[in-house]
Amino acid sequence: MREFIYFSPKGRTSGNFDDMMKAGRLDIAVNVIIAAFFLSKKRRKDVLFHLILNGPPDPPKHLEFDSREEIPFSKKDIDGLFKRMLFKYRQGQRMRAFDGCYVEKKSFQQVVREAAEAGKTIYLLDEKGQDIRDTDLKENAVFILGDHEGLNKVDIKFAKRFAKTISVGPEMYFASQVVVLVHNELDRKGL
Distance CA 161, CA 163 (A): 6
Neighbours of 56 (CB within 10 A): 13
pLDDT over 90 at 73, yes or no = no
In the chain the domains, ranked by start, together with CATH numbers, are 2-189 (3.40.1280.10)
Residues in the chain: 191
Q: What percent of the chain has pLDDT over 90?
A: 90
Question: Could you read off the pLDDT of 95-135 as tens digits, one per residue?
Answer: 999 999 999 999 999 999 999 999 999 999 999 999 999 99
Alpha-carbon distance 62 to 4, whole Å?
12
User: pLDDT tier at 70 (50, 70, 90 boundaries)?
Assistant: very high
Rounded Cα gap, residues 14 and 126, in angstroms: 29
